[in-house]
């Protein structure tokens, strides 16, 4: 039976991690005949399948004012409480409209019940889920207790209520094992892990002409080597380590390109990076045009380039993040068969590194040994090809769409029983698939029964 699935968040636009993973989930659902619809404060999706509600955006002026009153403070005044509930009431009305207009059968809350960047929206959605008893998947990318900036706040009562809520009709999904343990420890909520994935069963289809135009638009000459930092420009991405690497490589052909726009957390860090790169005599190129995710038809026509136009001509990938919930850019680099430098952030050490990938790594600082390894990788096509081919095979076993289909199928079966068919696809890399499905269902049944 076909289901109408409603994705809800503050933003589904551009190439942030939440938007990208939502697009992948929707891709799997739609390829199996289901219909996907979108609710957010910023959207680059098909307008016929979306409800755009600007006050739902985390950067909406009303929400920014509320955040300024509640974050970094221990108490809130009654006018702030009234403002929160006024906006919550408005958003409840719009969420009801969304569910009724598109006849939604299943809600997927994308990080909106996880990190309190929009407290009124989290409260509104929690009340909708409780009142309607609509089946819901809460897809958690990063919790508020993982961010220092939320450690002091005036809304602990709301955080306990809605970030995330503990309701019988919500099934919780996290993206790493630490999040699963902390969620259970702090709230008593059980969850399953669905890591970030990519369609490793089908290698990327690249538009080489568009990729070439993109490279030229960055001012790169034919003999330049593009060192790509495929992340947002925020402090936890550790981009200063990428600048240090380019400096230490001592090759004027190397140019550092950052693929995502700045602004999500202000502009102070990007200004500092520009000065830091200048001081190290490193050419730093920042993308100023909008980049769309590859599943949204170039942002519904709003963007000139797709993320898939950025990777093809990269010579090396830097990913020196200090913290990641999982790491989309890591998988994207593997998917495009690019060699990579990665910082050993906690989720990488615990969940990803044991899979046995072949990478250049740092552990919080750039050593001479690591610089030498990067030089060898870049100067040896044979070594580079062996590395990226091996990494692709490892990722295909652990982070392919087949993993996502199997785990989503188990959740769908829990909610709707045999009326919904198993999500299917080409599982070339999945061995003993039937056994894995049975084993997973047993695990899920045990977790959800609690």
Taking alpha carbons only, the member of 399, 423, 303 closest to residue 351 is 399
- Which secondary-structure segment (H or E) carries 433? helix 433-448
Which residue is listed with tokens 């898939």?
A: 308
Say whether pLDDT at 433 is over 50: no
Burial category of 188 from C-beta neighbours within 10 Å (exposed 0-12, middle 13-18, buried 19 and up) = exposed
The band of 414, judged by pLDDT with boundaries at 50, 70 and 90, is very high
What mean pLDDT do residues 179-184 have?
A: 98
Please tell me the CATH code under which domain 208-398 is placed: 3.40.50.2000
Residue pair 342/365 in contact by the 8 Å Cβ criterion: no
pLDDT digit string, tens, across residues 104-127: 999 999 999 999 999 999 999 999
pLDDT digit string, tens, across residues 385-396: 999 999 999 999
DSSP code at position 307? G
- 40: β partners: 52
Residue pair 2/26 in contact by the 8 Å Cβ criterion: no
Alpha-carbon distance 59 to 45, whole Å? 19
pLDDT digit string, tens, across residues 305-356: 888 889 999 999 999 999 999 988 999 999 999 999 999 999 999 999 999 9
Alpha-carbon distance 123 to 127, whole Å? 6
Asked whether the domain spanning 208-398 has the same topology as the one spanning 4-193, the reply is: yes
Q: Token pair for residue 252?
A: 């004027």
Q: Where exactly are the structural domains of the chain?
A: 4-193, 208-398, 404-448
Q: Options 3.30.450.40, 1.10.3260.10, 3.40.50.720, 3.40.50.2000; which CATH number does 4-193 get?
A: 3.40.50.2000
Taking alpha carbons only, the member of 360, 355, 436, 433 closest to residue 393 is 355
- Which secondary-structure segment (H or E) carries 362? strand 360-362
């Amino acid at each position: 039976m076909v289901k109408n699935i409603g994705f809800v968040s503050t933003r589904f636009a551009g190439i942030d991690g939440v938007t990208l993973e939502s697009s992948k989930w929707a891709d799997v659902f739609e390829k199996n005949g289901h219909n996907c619809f979108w609710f957010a404060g910023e959207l680059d999706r098909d307008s016929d399948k979306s409800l755009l509600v600007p006050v739902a955006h985390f950067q909406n002026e009303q929400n920014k004012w509320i955040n300024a009153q509640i974050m970094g403070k221990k108490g809130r005044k009654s006018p702030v409480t009234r403002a929160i509930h006024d906006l919550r009431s408005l958003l409840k009305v719009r969420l009801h409209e969304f569910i009724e207009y598109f006849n939604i059968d299943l809600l997927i809350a994308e990080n909106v019940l996880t990190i309190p960047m929009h407290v009124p929206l989290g409260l509104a959605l929690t009340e909708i889920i409780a009142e309607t008893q609509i089946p819901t998947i809460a897809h958690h990318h990063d919790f508020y207790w993982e961010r220092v900036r939320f450690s002091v706040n005036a809304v602990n009562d709301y955080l306990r209520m809605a970030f995330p809520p503990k309701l019988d009709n919500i099934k919780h999904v996290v993206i790493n094992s630490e999040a699963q343990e902390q969620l259970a420890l702090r709230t008593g909520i059980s969850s399953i892990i669905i890591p970030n994935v990519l369609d490793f069963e089908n290698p990327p289809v690249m538009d080489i002409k568009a990729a070439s135009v993109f490279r030229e638009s960055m001012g790169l000459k034919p003999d330049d080597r593009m060192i790509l930092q495929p992340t947002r420009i925020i402090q936890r991405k550790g981009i200063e380590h990428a600048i240090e690497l380019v400096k230490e490589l001592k090759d004027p052909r190397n140019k550092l390109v950052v693929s995502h726009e700045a602004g999500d957390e202000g502009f102070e860090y990007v200004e500092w990076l520009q000065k830091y790169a200048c001081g190290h005599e490193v050419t730093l190129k920042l993308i100023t045009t909008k980049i769309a995710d590859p599943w949204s038809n170039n942002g519904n026509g709003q963007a000139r380039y797709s993320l898939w136009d950025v990777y093809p001509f990269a010579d090396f990938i830097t990913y020196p993040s200090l913290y990641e919930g999982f790491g989309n850019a890591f998988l994207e680099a593997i998917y495009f068969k690019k060699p990579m430098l990665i910082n050993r952030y906690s989720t990488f050490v615990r969940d990803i590194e044991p899979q046995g990938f072949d990478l250049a790594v740092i552990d919080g600082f750039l050593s001479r040994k690591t610089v030498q390894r990067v030089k060898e990788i870049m100067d040896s096509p044979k070594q580079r090809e062996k590395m990226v081919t091996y990494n692709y095979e490892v990722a295909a076993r652990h982070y392919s769409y087949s993993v996502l289909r199997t785990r989503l199928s188990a959740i769908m079966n829990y909610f709707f029983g045999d009326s919904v068919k198993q999500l299917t696809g080409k599982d070339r890399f999945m061995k003993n698939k039937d056994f894995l499905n049975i084993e997973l269902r047993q695990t899920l049944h045990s977790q959800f029964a609690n």
